[in-house]
């Protein structure tokens, strides 16, 4: 009995060591690729940063109005985005090389799948990004407009607008990526409910003054203190 156990253990160990030794060069090459890839990504980032600064990309982006679009999406530096894109490119290449060094068949399969899936991913990310950008712009406009029109719950209204748009864009993005296909109808329902709630709130809070003014009109003409007629310019 003990001999059988010993034999099984010995065979397992031999197989493990043999396979490990067979795989070791691949792992070492993979690690080497990883180290070189990481170093190259960092170096490329620095070189890109240097070149972009020298070519005054920030100023050019400012000039053509790109900066203001990026700012609306919360990106304060065009240079930082481009540097990050270069680094992500190197990271993807490094990951592919590491996978190929470990198992070329698996890597080939994964790469093929990745490239087949890529268009959906790109569209999904784009939709989400545009949604975030739109949400920021709309939310800020709603906030400023509501404050300037004397709406008491301006922040709430702006938040509702932002959440509604992000929810909708996230649902559409997920749909494109192929995750949660049932989310879109639910998101639309939630959005509709949100809009209805916001409108009800706006009507309720916003019409307070209207009602007050109507009552005041019924009681008599507005007193001079109710209005001003400054000519501002």
Partner 1 sequence: MSTPEILRPDVLARLRNLGHADIVVGIPSYQNAGTIGHVVQAAQTGLAKYFPGEQSVVLNSDGGSTDGTPDIVADTVGPDAAVVLVSHPMRPIHRLSVPYHGLPGKGSAFRTIFRAAELLGAKACAVADADLRSITPEWIHLLVAPVLNQGFDYVAPYYHRHKFDGTITNNVVYPVTRALYGKQIRQPIGGDFGVSRALVQHYLGLPVWETDVARYGIDIWMTTEAICGDFSLCQAFLGAKLHDPKDPASDLSAMLVQVLGTVFRLMETHAERWHAVKSSAPVSIVGFRYDVGLDPVRVNPARMIDHFRRGVRDLESIWQTMFDRADMEQLKRAASKTGPGFAIDDRLWAHLVYALAAAYHRRVSERDALVRSTLPLYMGRVASFVTEMADADAGQVETRLEELCAVFEQEKDYLRGRWSDER
Burial class (CB in 10 A: 0-12, 13-18, 19+), 142: buried
Pick from 137, 138, 166, 188 the residue near partner 1 by CB under 8 A.
137
Q: Does the footprint of partner 1 cover residue 49 (CB under 8 A)?
A: no
User: 72-111: which residues touch partner 1 (CB under 8 A)?
Assistant: 72, 76-77
Q: Does the footprint of partner 1 cover residue 147 (CB under 8 A)?
A: yes
For residue 198, which phi and psi values (nearest 5 degrees)? -65, -40
CA distance 146 to 118: 41
Nearest in space to 78 (alpha carbons), one of 88, 90, 70: 70
List, in order, residues 6 or more apart from 94 with CB less than 8 Å away.
33, 34, 36, 37, 38, 40, 41
Q: Does the footprint of partner 1 cover residue 148 (CB under 8 A)?
A: yes
- How far from chain centre, in Å, is Cα 149? 32
Q: Does the footprint of partner 1 cover residue 221 (CB under 8 A)?
A: no
Residue 162 or 176: the one with the smaller Cβ distance to partner 1 is: 162
Q: Does the footprint of partner 1 cover residue 71 (CB under 8 A)?
A: yes
Q: Does the footprint of partner 1 cover residue 144 (CB under 8 A)?
A: yes
Q: Does the footprint of partner 1 cover residue 1 (CB under 8 A)?
A: no
Pick from 40, 49, 140, 163 the residue near partner 1 by CB under 8 A.
140
Residues that bind partner 1 (CB under 8 A): 58, 62, 67-68, 71-72, 76-77, 137, 140-141, 143-148, 150, 152, 154-155, 224-233
């Amino acid at each position: 009995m003990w001999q059988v156990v010993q034999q099984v253990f010995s065979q397992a160990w031999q197989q493990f060591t043999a396979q490990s030794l067979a795989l070791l060069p691949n792992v070492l090459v993979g690690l080497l690729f990883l180290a070189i890839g990481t170093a190259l990504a960092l170096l490329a980032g620095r070189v890109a940063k240097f070149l972009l600064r020298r070519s005054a990309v920030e100023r050019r982006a400012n000039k053509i109005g790109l900066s203001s679009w990026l700012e609306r999406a919360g990106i304060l530096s065009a240079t930082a985005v481009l540097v990050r894109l270069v680094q992500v490119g190197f990271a993807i290449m490094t990951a592919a090389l590491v996978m190929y060094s470990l198992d070329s068949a698996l890597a080939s399969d994964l790469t093929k799948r990745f490239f087949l899936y890529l268009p959906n991913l790109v569209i999904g990310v784009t939709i989400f990004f545009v949604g975030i950008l739109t949400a920021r712009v709309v939310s800020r406009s709603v906030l400023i407009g509501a404050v300037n029109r004397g709406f008491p719950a301006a922040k709430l209204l702006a938040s509702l607008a932002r959440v509604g748009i992000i929810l909708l864009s996230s649902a559409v993005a997920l749909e494109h990526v192929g995750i949660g296909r049932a989310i879109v109808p639910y998101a639309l329902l939630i959005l509709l409910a949100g809009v209805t709630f916001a409108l009800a709130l706006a009507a309720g809070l916003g019409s307070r003054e209207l009602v007050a003014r109507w009552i005041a009109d019924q009681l008599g003409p507005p007193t001079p203190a109710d209005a001003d007629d400054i000519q501002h310019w």
